[in-house]
Amino acid sequence: MPDESHAQPALFDDDTLAEYSTSAPSAQAASHQVGSPQERHRELNELLTRAEHAYYVLDAPIMTDAEFDRNLQELIALEQAHPELITPESYTQHVGGGLSSQFEEVAHAARMYSMDDAMDLDELDAWLARTEEALHAEGHASISYTCELKIDGLGVALTYRNGRLKRGATRGNGVTGEDVTANVNTISDIPRAMANAGMERLPGGGMGSQVEVRGEVYMPKGSFVRLNEEADAAGRAPFANPRNAAAGSLRQKNPQVTAMRDLSTFIYSVADPAALGVASQSEFLDWLRASGFSVNPHARTCASAAEVHAYCADALARRGELDYDIDGVVVKVDSFAQQDALGFTARAPRWAIAFKFPPEEKRTVLREIRIQVGRTGVLTPVAEFDPVTVAGSTIARATLHNIDEIRRKDVRVGDTIVVHKAGDVIPEVVGHVEELRPEGSTEFQMPERCPSCGSAVVREEGEVAYRCVSIDCPAQAVERLIHWASRKAMDIDGIGDEIVGRAVEQGLLTDVADFYDKVDVDSLAALDTGRTYETSTADHEAGDPVALGPTIASKIMAQVDESRTRGLARVLFGLGIRHVGESVAAALAAEFGSLETLMAAPEERIVEVEGVGPKIARSICEFFSISENLAVLGRLRNSGVVLEEERTASERPQTLAGLTFVLTGALESLTRDEAGAALKELGAKVSGSVSKKTSFVVAGSAAGSKLAKAEQLGVPVLDEAALRQILETGEPPAGAGA
């Protein structure tokens, strides 16, 4: 990794950077005033306020970042030309952000400001010149800057008392944020306690101190890809980009959902730098590292405008190599004393500016919208267009997710469309170019029948997805078989997409039981791979088909035999029951122990399992009601596939037998999974829902609807201290069983 204390040489010169920088329309070019300046001023304020609410509060943006920036720059230019239009209510006079109603509001230790933008190199240079002129006038001869990557995530403020994390809050409106402490506690790179090296810099070694640091919560690109793949497979609406995925994940009511979303942070500012005994931004970043915080490794100190240019050019060139989304570079005056001298405007610091990267968007022609059928029967429309190079690679197709997305973007076959890569990773259709739409174009319609098997297609109430409901659908068969053999299911090494696809085409595989009672080494060895020999030998002629062969077939069948003993949890996940993921499958296996017991359980019993709601329970019962599915399960049993989960007998007395606990909220000393396992070890049943049959509800911090229902039904509520006493003593709570 290069030395962070020096600016790195640019990967291309300022002329090339300027070409990138000015590719986004300027404020003047974007301006399209209609009517009087007063009318346009009102329109822009309404538009920006509505877009801000959608972005920060609803996590559902109504325009791209580039569109937002263009409208904001137009508003700024309009107010510069007509100062009389500026009012305290103008969007330019307040800090962006917003508050939702689902979390408690908390006040920040100091205001969290927005950042002014430089949309091109000219605007960046103008800011640098103004800044140096102002500081020289104040008698500051030497000026340096700290340049940091502008992370495209969700702003967060972390409060530490006596060196321990006490609160996490969203940025909100800059003055007040939302208390998301329970969710912040699930993010692995946020220290629960500051490291001693950082504490030593605080007065009194940190005892009696309170420090509020700020930064960005983001979702790595790889995690974003996986999350949207899961959404597509389940027929849910996808996240628009990693920033919205991070925002939606941090603001979940259930911290367990946040914990599964693989969020990370970069911390870069503090409410009161004077309390830390540091004199500059670069020193503060060093303090953050010493304290155990995650600090972006690409921050640099630059001594001149030329070095700032070089840093921006380097960041733009390396943008696609990063595993997180950035949309520019933040340039800050390094010295805190000089920052204080420059001060703030109504909405932003004068000592910092955000140099914004233009989004790399390309135009191409949409040739076809093709339907793919997934493992769960979801029909996904996919745009196929003329190949175009975006962010360093050639793309020719992109998922359109569902019919609602197609309608929202209003794209049609034959359109000239705009494409980019969401998070610089996922090809995405942004929209169409209206003036280039061909005459006679028609709206795309989802098919009424499955393109794979011809069966009827349905759209269930409240869902965006269309589904093929046929269990005999060949497209679903391939995906189901691939899923069954996947690592987290039955882990049959050597069975890839190509082999499964060829086996289905040639009638060797139809359902998952075929792995065990139909396929053998000989039949698999004879599988036609779809390739042909290029030369003749004693064993074959040129042009003969290439079979899989006995060596590979033997290795695969050895893995098949080994997979028989993976256990019930793997089987339940591998079956691809709708809504049953890896964690739910494990919970069902642990609760019921055998497939027969689960199959005999009524829906109201299944819904009591932790993590299983009515929708999942209904899906499980529907799966077991289909005769074709039961026949497959019977064949698995007859083939020696283990359909039970191995249980380890508890050595502790079953003192909580007959009692049902429900866990809600975040616990400090252990996770809910750990608490549930400990209660079960004492013989208790742990349920995911509250009913009159519930014995006790254990409520941690940020407990929600389950606590409210317990209070409504009169179910006794225990705090974490009472839970710890139960687990330590093994004794049931007072009044249990009375």
**In 563-667, beta strands by DSSP E:** 660-664
Asked if residues 146 and 300 have their Cβ atoms less than 8 Å apart, the reply is: yes
Asked if residues 362 and 388 have their Cβ atoms less than 8 Å apart, the reply is: yes
Length of the chain: 738
Q: Residue 216 is inside which H or E element, if any? A: strand 210-218
**In 317-460, beta strands by DSSP E:** 326-333, 352-356, 362-373, 378-390, 393-399, 416-422, 426-432, 457-458
Sign of CA dihedral 399, 403, 406, 408: negative
CA 622 from centre of chain: 30
Comparing CA positions, the residue from 437, 401, 402 lying closest to residue 418 is 437
- DSSP H helical segments within 367-470, as ranges? 403-409
Q: Residue 218 is inside which H or E element, if any? A: strand 210-218
Instruction: Count CB neighbours of 719 within 10 A.
Output: 14
HEC profile of 42-70:
HHHHHHHHHHHHHHHHCCCCCCCHHHHHH
CA atoms within 13 A on the CB side of 508: 20
Instruction: Count CB neighbours of 650 within 10 A.
Output: 11
Asked if residues 356 and 118 have their Cβ atoms less than 8 Å apart, the reply is: yes
Specify whether 356 is catalytic: no
CA 637 from centre of chain: 38
Q: Residue 633 is inside which H or E element, if any? A: helix 627-638
The whole-angstrom separation of Cα 381 and Cα 706 is: 38
Cα radius of gyration (the chain): 30
Asked if residues 551 and 675 have their Cβ atoms less than 8 Å apart, the reply is: no
- DSSP H helical segments within 293-391, as ranges? 305-318, 336-342
Indicate the angle between helix axes 614-624 and 627-638, nearest 10 degrees.
Answer: 70
The catalytically annotated residue of 150, 332, 685, 706 is 150
Comparing CA positions, the residue from 259, 269, 237 lying closest to residue 59 is 237
Longest dimension (CA), the chain: 92
Per-position b or e across 169-206, b if 16+ CB within 10 A of its CB:
bbbbbbbbbbbbbbbbbbbeebbeebeeebbebbeeeb
Asked if residues 198 and 287 have their Cβ atoms less than 8 Å apart, the reply is: yes
**Catalytic residue positions?**
150
